[in-house]
Amino acid sequence: MNHQSIADSRPGGAWLEISTERRNPATVDLDTRSTIAILEAMNNEDAVVPGAVRAVLPPLSQLVDRAVEAVQGGRRVHYFGAGTSGRLGVLDAAELLPTFNLEEGVVVAHHAGGDAALVRALENVEDSWESGASDAADVAPGDVCVGIAASGRTPYVGGALETARRRGASTALITCAREPELGSLADFVLIADTGAEILAGSTRLKAGSAQKLILNGFSTALMIRLGKTWSNLMVSMVATNEKLRARTVRILMEATGQEEDLCRSSLELSDGDLRVALLCMFNDVSPEDARAALASTRGSVRAATEFLNTQGSNSTTTA
């Protein structure tokens, strides 16, 4: 791959051929429109996003399955991105810790320019192939590395994916470009073709929305497949404030059909761990037995319930 051609950030040239950079013929008079007309134009274009995301569901499901295998095998998932794309990756990874009580370091977000670039644009950081390669230096064989690049040609992402592949990781590219230049570096290429933005090149709009939906789907499906939920309830979340503590009580009431006082009591006995409380109430076991079952089943409430049922059946048979 010609790194120089991708890293060339001069105006014009190849950039004008990228679908996300083209001028939208439907909005050439945008600055003359009324406020409501501007918002209607945005809303009309936003309607394209769900269909574009639906088109990538087959490869996305394959990527999720690969990530499940990786995490269950003790490997990690990495996001690499710059600008809006990178910030979306950082946001997605950060929210997994409190929402699903995911261990720190399982899903890691790398953003071109580091923390300083999260709140302000830093010059040329996304144009460095070498910087992406450096940030991917700790990728291990069997990891899953997801590059996020609306344009499909961000050099930082290219450097990261090339290095990750060389180190034995599985690679993926989330993009909105019809023919992404970095596609050859990815085992899974997810193209959400959202077309030209209402403001030419402002990929924080439709492209950003599509990337956010894809990341939502990827990480949520990953957490569900890893057993971090029960039914459609968030049973692994960390209750760090009063709102979330009240939510854990409501979830336990919903799951068990029991009264509030009993659910509060079970949570207290379980040290606030909703998964432990669920298992205690479902299976009439002690918190210690519930924790042991969770430890034996990688933290999955459903698998732990089946484990406890099997243990109970074996005890009955033995007796």
How far is residue 160's CA from residue 136's CA, in Å, rounded to a whole number? 5
Question: Which of these, 134, 216, 141, 142, lies nearest to 174 by C-alpha position?
Answer: 216
218, 146 Cβ separation under 8 angstroms: yes
| Of 107, 163, 111, the residue nearest 138 (C-alpha) | 163
- Buried-exposed string 89-113: b where 16+ CB fall within 10 A, e elsewhere: bbebbeebbebbbbeeebbbbbbbb
Identified catalytic residue from 21, 45, 126, 181: 126
Active site residue 126: yes
Q: Pick the catalytic residue from 17, 21, 40, 95.
A: 95
- For the sheet with 144-148, list strands across it: 107-111, 77-81, 144-148, 170-175, 188-191
Q: Which of 192, 203, 170 is nearest to 83 (CA)?
A: 203
Catalytic center residues: 95, 126
